[in-house]
Amino acid sequence: MMNERIGSVRIGYLVNQYPAVSHSFIRREVLQLEQLGIPVVRFALKGWDNQLVDEEDMRERAKTEYVQQLGIARLLACTLSAITRMPVRVARASKLALRMAKQSQRRLGVHLFYLVEAIAIAAYMKRHRIDHLHAHFGTNSAEVAMLASIVADRPYSFTVHGPEEFDKAEAIGLPEKIERSQFVVAISSFGRSQLYRWMQPSHWHKVKVVHCGLERAFYRQQRVAPAGRRRLVCVGRLCEQKGQLLLIRAMDTLVRKGMVFDLVLAGDGEMRPLIEHEIAACGLGKYVHLTGWLSGEQVRRQILEATALVLPSLAEGLPVVIMEAMALKRPVLSTYIAGIPELVQPGVSGWLFPSGSVEDLALAMEECLGLSSAELERMGDAAYDMVLQRHDIALEAEKLANHFFSALGEVNATRSPA
């Protein structure tokens, strides 16, 4: 049934910053939709000057329309033109922007600028003949998509990742965004449950679970044994919610007990100076290695060289790096939060421990590092089987494509004469 619809619609994708080092899951989704034969036009509010390390991201940047790159003069000219040509739609969008500002922590001027960006997106949508607009993240990109859908008179949807959207749902107007959307995507069952909290039960049918996925080539990696002595790798932005400081303290506990192993922190971020200070204070400089930002291939290499992935997160949605580690047949150590327990099975494919507990994190690390190679291999195989079932991008993109088709069918039905 889907094959009959392919090529009949054009989808616009809107992200605040695209491409970005931490947004490889969006790139995979877009490219897989195109593999299905669905034209996708990329829109981003900013990011044309982002520092990129991945060649695929560089290619994506060349395909992306950047709103803020137009400059304020052209954006205002576009807005004045829209007011002249379609005053009723712009007035409706303006009224909604004002209402969003009243409940927001951000100033009125910010929301009026979202309106200006939305009018520019609507112009892009007309130029590219976009039938449906999809945004990633329920924050400002979803608001711009919502306003653009009014100006362009086209439906929209958005994907919620968490945890940010759930932390301040009312302040970002999440209930309003959901109500006006054709559908909203959650990346896990946990995410779906959090969305249910902010919507009327009569709208629960709008929530669709579509997992982030990996391309099948990622799963075809031949088994590679970890190199050298035992090593754990933590991949992610160096920030509060990823819990790297807890990881350093847990490692200090184990080193004091006489355990010798390496820890790689792959990524960068605002907490790097504090983390480096903690490493020095604990005297762990010869065991802990900070890599800075890495390309996708470099992250893969770091995972393959490690015994296991460790991610002591305090807040999450469902980290894509967990899927990547499991696809590379590495067990995972992570926390009992958000969507992580839906993927990591304790004692089967990894370890789960209470978030924020240095003691439980250290215990999980000790158990992992004490296993034989055969036991680690068994857990890696179980991890591979689990992620293959749940996170194949070809299957997940097909689900999403069918949601687009269904949503457009509903819109067309309401627009058709009785």
Q: Where are the domains of the chain?
A: 2-213+393-415, 216-390
Task: Give helix 87-103 / helix 108-128 axis angle, nearest 10°.
Answer: 140
What was the pLDDT predicted at 332?
98
| Sequence-ordered alpha helix ranges (H) in 86-139 | 87-103, 108-128
Distance CA 408, CA 136 (A): 19
| Range list of β-strands (E), 165-206 | 183-186
Report the pLDDT averaged over residues 364-378: 96
Strand partners, 152: none
Instruction: Identify the helix (H) or strand (E) that includes residue 412.
Output: helix 393-415
Beta strands in 123-217 (DSSP E): 132-136, 156-160, 183-186, 207-209
Spatial distance between the Cα atoms of 345 and 351, rounded to a whole number of angstroms: 7
For residue 222, the 8-state DSSP code is P
CATH topology of domain 2-213+393-415: Rossmann fold (3.40.50)
**Tokens matching residue 28:** 């995979």
Distance (Å) of CA 402 to CA 10, 178, 272, 305, 310: 13, 19, 42, 39, 35
Distance set, CA 102 to CA 97, 142, 242 (Å): 9, 17, 32
Residue 5 has pLDDT above 60, yes or no: no
The CA distances from residue 133 to 37, 180, 411, in Å, are 17, 13, 13
CB-based burial label for 265 (10 Å; 0-12, 13-18, 19+): buried
CA dist 326 and 382 (Å) reads: 8
Contact predicate 335/365, CB 8 Å: no
**Burial degree of 371 (CB within 10 A; 0-12, 13-18, 19+):** middle
The mean per-residue pLDDT over the stretch 175-179 comes to: 96
SS3 state of residue 132: strand
Tell me, what's the pLDDT at 219?
A: 74
How confident is residue 220, by pLDDT bands cut at 50, 70 and 90?
confident
Q: Report which residue type is found at 370.
A: G
* Residue 2's pLDDT band (cuts 50, 70, 90): low
Pairing of strands 64-66, 40-46: parallel
Q: Percent of the chain beyond pLDDT 70?
A: 95
Give the model's pLDDT for residue 413: 67
Q: How far apart are CA 119 and CA 122, in angstroms?
A: 5
Q: Is the pLDDT of residue 417 over 70?
A: no
* DSSP strands (E only) in 242-331: 262-266, 288-292, 308-311
Cβ atoms within 10 Å, residue 22: 15
- What's the confidence (pLDDT) of residue 229? 78
pLDDT tens, residue by residue, 254-271: 999 999 999 999 999 999
The torsion angles phi and psi of 210, rounded to 5 degrees, stand at -130, 115
Q: Do the domains spanning 2-213+393-415 and 216-390 agree at the CATH topology level?
A: yes
Mean pLDDT of the chain: 93
**pLDDT at site 21:** 82
What gap in Å lies between CA 248 and CA 276, rounded to an integer? 10
Q: Which of 175, 189, 177 shows the shortest CA–CA distance to 147?
A: 177
The answer regarding whether domain 216-390 maps to CATH 3.40.50.2000 reads yes
25-84 per-position pLDDT tens digit: 999 999 999 999 999 999 999 999 988 888 999 999 999 999 999 999 999 999 999 999
CB distance 246 to 356 below 8 Å: yes
What's the pLDDT tens digit per position in 104-133? 988 999 999 999 999 999 999 999 999 999
Q: What is the DSSP letter of 47?
A: -
pLDDT at 376: 96
Q: Which residues of 395-407 are buried (b: 16+ CB within 10 A; e: fewer)?
A: ebbbebbebbbeb
For residue 404, pLDDT beyond 90 = yes
**pLDDT of 134-151, one tens digit each?**
999 999 999 999 999 999
Residues 6+ apart with CB under 8 A from 162: 187, 190, 191, 194, 315, 316, 317, 338
How many CB atoms sit inside 10 A of residue 231's CB? 19
C-alpha to C-alpha distance for 288 and 270, rounded to whole angstroms: 18
Helix or strand (DSSP H, E) at 4: helix 2-5
Q: State yes or no: cis peptide before 175, omega within 30 of 0.
A: no
Q: What pLDDT score was predicted for residue 1?
A: 47
> Please, which residues have CB within 8 angstroms of residue 47's CB and are 6 or more apart in sequence?
15, 16, 17, 18, 19, 20, 61, 64, 66
Q: How far apart are the first and last CA of the chain?
A: 25
